[in-house]
Amino acid sequence: MRCALVGVLALLAGEAAAQEPALEALMKTAPRCDPARKHCLALRLHVAVGDAGPVAAADWVARQLQQANRHFAPLDLGFQVAGVTALPAAAARIEDAKERTELAPLVAGTVIDVFVTAQLDDIDIKDGVIYGVTWPKGAKKYIIISTMAWERTLSHELGHVFGLPHSGYAISIMNKSDRKEPPIEQRTFHPHELAVMRGQLQRMLREKVVEDVPPPKPAATAPAAAAPATSTQSAAPAPSLKQP
């Protein structure tokens, strides 16, 4: 890659690139933590950008976050995007372990770093591709995810961040086996996995590996204007978001 490009250009371009409208949209349209959650953790996205723009669309990011917030709700935990930086076009494909490791200098602070690429090669199977991977940097872990990923892939990789291995539980999104039951939409973390992650979350907060950030404040409701006495007009109901 070229990987010297990933380290050098991302560091140079990060702050300025975050001002680009296409990257701003990734953060502005991403779901925020539910203010009712006890814990809210920040994700920092690093997105490969080519001539056609970022490899990830805003709706793709939103779906990944929606799923993560749904699966981690039993832990009273939510996630929100705290920042977006650009990676050069060369990072649109991550080919080997060396290239994965060379992203590590961009990992810092008490956020969870998520690198978004268009293609993530399988380093164990020739010509194979994978959807996501959790990669170590000392005591921390960071995520690399491909835009080919299923909507639950970020949730799966966050499971690894919080200490889970791959699973044999049929219900679990940590189970990589091909199976028909339960249906995909019913799969989530097994209660035992939730217990493991609950302990890991407390340890990570205690050791300052991650840190709670303030969730968004509920929007203030403006007082409704009084309608004329003769008016029979009523406001149209707000559209509801389709649940994944």
Q: Is the pLDDT of residue 234 over 70?
A: no
pLDDT at site 18: 47
Pairwise CA distance, residues 166 & 176, whole Å:
7
pLDDT at site 26: 86
Q: Is the pLDDT of residue 62 over 60?
A: yes
187 contact partners, CB below 8 Å, separation of at least 6: 152, 171, 172, 173, 175
CB 116 within 8 A of CB 47: yes
Q: Is the pLDDT of residue 151 over 60?
A: yes
Tokens representing 25 are 């949209």
Q: By C-alpha distance, which of 148, 152, 244 is closest to 189?
A: 152
Chain-wide mean pLDDT for the chain?
A: 85
Q: Is the pLDDT of residue 47 over 80?
A: yes
Phi, psi of 101 (to 5 degrees): -70, -30
CA dihedral 54, 99, 162, 185 (to 10 degrees): 50
Q: Which CATH superfamily is domain 2-206 in?
A: Collagenase (Catalytic Domain) (3.40.390.10)
At 218, the pLDDT band (50, 70, 90 cuts) reads low
Tokens representing 52 are 């056609």
Q: How far is CA 175 from CA 75, 97, 132, 160, 170, in A?
A: 19, 23, 14, 12, 7
Tokens representing 217 are 């404040």
Q: Rounded mean pLDDT of 67-75?
A: 98
Pairwise CA distance, residues 13 & 89, whole Å:
12
Q: Rounded mean pLDDT of 28-36?
A: 92
Q: Rounded mean pLDDT of 132-140?
A: 94
At 23, the pLDDT band (50, 70, 90 cuts) reads confident
pLDDT at site 4: 58
* Residue labelled with tokens 């249906």: 183
pLDDT at site 240: 32
Q: Rounded mean pLDDT of 6-10?
A: 49
Cα 56 from chain centre: 12
Kindly state the percentage of the chain with pLDDT values over 90. 73
Q: Is the pLDDT of residue 19 over 70?
A: no
pLDDT at site 25: 81
Instruction: Please give the residue that has the higher pLDDT: either 14 or 181.
Output: 181
What does DSSP say about strands 112-117 and 140-146: parallel, antiparallel, or unpaired? parallel
Quick: pLDDT tens for 118-135: 999 999 999 999 999 999
Quick: pLDDT tens for 169-195: 999 999 999 999 999 999 999 999 999
CB 117 within 8 A of CB 145: yes
Q: By C-alpha distance, which of 195, 164, 167, 171 is closest to 185?
A: 171
pLDDT at site 110: 97
At 2, the pLDDT band (50, 70, 90 cuts) reads low
pTM of the model: 0.83
Pairwise CA distance, residues 205 & 24, whole Å:
28
